[in-house]
Amino acid sequence: MPRIKRGTQAAKKRRNLLKHTKGFMWGRKSKEKAARQALMKAWTYSYRDRRVRKREFRKLWQVKINAGARENGTTYSRLIDALTKKNIGLNRKILADLAENEPATFKRVVEQATLNS
């Protein structure tokens, strides 16, 4: 049986691994074993934090909506409850943007929601 040399395959595998570690510090960018361990950790964190980012944005939107609502004489929870009861289908992302950048429009939304409730 002929001998199979794996030099090119191993080098290709190592090169592709090290491409992902560009910008890492110390041996984590150049040494194969350290790079592999660093990438396992990094990819785990990136997977987790793509989900955490969504939670953090929702928290931020709630803070912005609450600040805008309090300027208009109500609270976040009362505003969301009134919007739900009136079937006004604006999500938190849009409400937060309105509260921050379009206070006059946000005020009209709050007035519509809290009208007779």
The confidence score (pLDDT) of residue 96 equals 98
DSSP of 39-92: HHHHHHHHHHHHHHHHHHHHHHHHHHHHHHHHHTT--HHHHHHHHHHTT----H
By the 8 A CB rule, do 65 and 95 touch? yes
pTM of the model: 0.80
Q: How far is CA 46 from the centre of its chain?
A: 11
The confidence score (pLDDT) of residue 3 equals 86
The confidence score (pLDDT) of residue 115 equals 87
pLDDT tens series, the chain, 117 aa: 888 888 899 999 999 999 999 999 999 999 999 999 999 999 999 999 999 999 999 999 999 999 999 999 999 999 999 999 999 999 999 999 999 999 999 999 999 999 876
Domains of the chain, first to last: 9-114 (1.10.1900.20)
Total residue count of the chain as it appears in this document: 117
Amino acid letter, residue 33: K
Residue 74 DSSP SS3: coil
The confidence score (pLDDT) of residue 117 equals 60
